[in-house]
Amino acid sequence: MCAIDLDVVNEIVGQKGRTADHAIPILQEVQKRLRYVPREALARIADLTEMTESQLFGVATFYSQFRLEPVGDTIIKVCHGTACHVGGAKGLTEALENRLGVKSGETTADKKFTLTSVACVGCCSLAPVIMVADDRTYGRLDMKKAVSIVDGLEGVSSAESG
Ligand code: FES
């Protein structure tokens, strides 16, 4: 297991503040820097602030933006909002699960990709939609197009595509 750099947490708390109203900005910055919010980070934040670890855990689990498990280098999100659901999101998820060899919510063994499902990402007119790495949105997909997008990502193994 990689050691988690908790010095980053000290630095963030120093910048953001130590009271309960700073919980969300602290957690957002921790996630930005560490790519998820490890339990060890919650414990460290609790040591440094007025908040308890269980209060912080409550905030981190209440808001869906926070990830409590490590993720791959690239997160592939399949929108399962209403429009995308109607447009075939379930099939996209199944096709990508087969392509990557993981279930939705899991990370590939080489830690390069995490496949996940999300609620509406705000571009329903393009449904069904996937989002790659938080900033690239692909719409009007079918299973074949979704798989070809993943095929084109750097670092994706070609072993399962045959
Ligand atoms: S339901 Fe998928 S973008 Fe809105």
**Are 84 and 120 members of one domain?**
yes
In a domain, 120, yes or no: yes
Contact status, residue 80 vs residue 118, Cβ threshold 8 Å: yes
Task: Find the residues whose C-beta lies inside 6 A of ligand 1.
Answer: 79, 81-84, 120-124, 127, 129
Ramachandran assignment for 5, one of left (phi > 0), alpha (psi -120 to 50 degrees), beta (any other): beta
CA of 128 to the centre of ligand 1 (A): 7
% of the chain at pLDDT higher than 90: 82
User: How far is residue 155 from each of residues 72, 92, 93, 158, measured CA to CA in Å?
Assistant: 11, 20, 20, 9
Binned at pLDDT 50, 70 and 90, residue 76 comes out as very high
**Are 40 and 102 members of one domain?**
no
pLDDT tens across 35-47, in order? Answer: 899 999 999 999 9
**Are 46 and 111 members of one domain?**
no
In a domain, 128, yes or no: yes
Instruction: Please tell me the total count of domains within the chain.
Output: 2
Nearest CA to ligand 1 atom 1: 81
Containing structural domain, residue 142: 74-151
Which residue among 79, 92, 136, 138 has the greatest number of ligand 1 atoms within 8 angstroms of its CB, and so is best to mutate?
79
Contact status, residue 89 vs residue 128, Cβ threshold 8 Å: yes
- The answer, yes or no, to whether residue 109 has pLDDT greater than 80, is yes
